[in-house]
Structure 1
Amino acid sequence: MKKQLILASTSKYRQELLHRLALPFEALAPLIDEDKEKDPSLAPRALAEKLALLKAQSLKGEGKVVIGGDQLVSFEGRIIGKAHTTERAVEQLLSMQGKVHELVTAICVFDGEKIIPYTDITRMHMKSLSKAQIEHYVSLDNPIDCAGSYKIEKHGIKLFDKIESEDFTAIQGLPLIALSKILENCDLL
């Protein structure tokens, strides 16, 4: 019997990325209350890993391979979440301009009861930018639904001097290089 692949996410970004592996999958909302699970005492990496695990675990089952993922921005020891408003997006980008932050992308795959975690840490070197440049960028991409207030796959690339990453797709929300290796080991690729 062929295993059913499930993406425990309603993120259109993660779904678009997973389509690149040319595998049939179903995208389902994880059965957790993410806000209740966000523990402010956890370090950014630990929190992303916990949320990825809980999302995947919530949909696991016999004959299923479930992918859970979480991504957050770690800046100066604190987590920078989604802005939700244009004004907040500008504030977030102003605070990070000219500095380095980390993009933490955690995935957890359940193959039946077997757990396979993976975390990618990408160092993002943001240019020194004026408020006018940032406001112009925010008007282009409206990145209010993205952690850190930028869309790297669109115009957000122009905000950076340098990106240190092992897998560019991790920046967009799903590290496909690592995930493809994991899915091979699950006999799906």
Structure 2
Amino acid sequence: MELILASTSPWRREQLARLGLPFQCVDPAVDEDVWKARLTDPRELAGTLAREKARAVAAQHPEAVVIGGDQLVSFGSTILGKPGTAEGAVEQLLQLAGQTHELLTAVCLCHHGRELNHLDVTRLTMRSLDRGALTRYVAADDPVGCAGSYMLEQRGITLFERIESADHTAIIGLPLIALTGLLRQLGFEVP
């Protein structure tokens, strides 16, 4: 069976490669803003975006098993997206400093009209940090393309007091423990 990752994320590509299965990456070209305007529940939005990405690529590759994924930060009733600028990243981090938030990582597998879904919820508590420390962090990691404005796989780990997760790999972009189980359900042999 052909396996496709509906993503252009180098982090997700790196993660999926850890499973040792051959796959290719295809840009899902999903307009996320349409869904962000319609949905306000963070968990529903993450799941919907993962599903829409998988469906978009599955429509082009009907015989393949397609993996779609999405990740967002939920802070209270606010969904924090990618800041886009260094100043925006510092402002997001100031909101999160000293607080606990959720990192939602959704995955959807599509194959012959069948969809398998999983949502991983990670709770993160950030240290109390001032603007100076956060500005230095943003200059070091440049997390402007990351939801929540941090990269835990780099220096961003130093920002946190506590991380609670059933699957630490979800923090990077794909919940590999759950994904392995879903792939097995579809007949993949993953050691």
* Alignment TM class, shorter chain as reference: over 0.9
Structure holding more helix per residue: 2
* Residues 124, 28 of structure 1: alpha-carbon distance in 2 compared, 3 angstrom cutoff: same
Alignment correspondent of 1:42: 40
Q: Secondary structure of 1:38's match?
A: helix
Deviation at residue 31 of structure 1 after TM alignment: 3.9
The AA in structure 2 aligned to 1:16 is E
1:27 to 21, 25, 35: 25
Match for residue 177 of structure 2? 177
Deviation at 1:40, TM superposition (A): 4.7
Instruction: Give the TM-score normalised by structure 1.
Output: 0.95
Whether the 8 Å contact between 1:39 and 1:47 is mirrored in structure 2 is no
Distance 1:40 1:130 in 2: 35
CA RMSD of aligned residues (A): 1.1
Matches of 1:112 and 1:42, distance apart in 2: 30
Q: Write the letter of the residue equivalent to 2:184.
A: E
Compute the displacement of 1:42 (Å).
Answer: 2.6
Using the size of structure 2 for normalisation, the TM-score is 0.94
Alignment coverage as a number of residue pairs: 187
Q: Counterpart in 2 of 1:79?
A: 79
Report the Cα offset of residue 62 of structure 1. 3.8
**How many Å separate the matches in 1 of 2:136 and 2:62?**
49
Alpha-carbon distance in structure 2 between the residues aligned to 1:102 and 1:19: 26
Shift of 1:76: 1.6
1:12 aligns with 10
Q: Secondary structure at the match of 2:161?
A: strand
Residues in 2 aligned to 1:63 and 1:188: alpha-carbon distance in whole angstroms: 14
User: Amino acid of the residue matched to residue 146 of structure 1?
Assistant: C
- Offset of residue 37 of structure 1: 2.5
Give unmatched runs, 5+ long, in structure 1.
Answer: none
Structure 2 portions without partners, runs of 5+: none
Contact preservation (8 Å) 1:81, 1:148:
yes
- Comparing 29-38 with 85-94, greater Cα deviation is found at 29-38
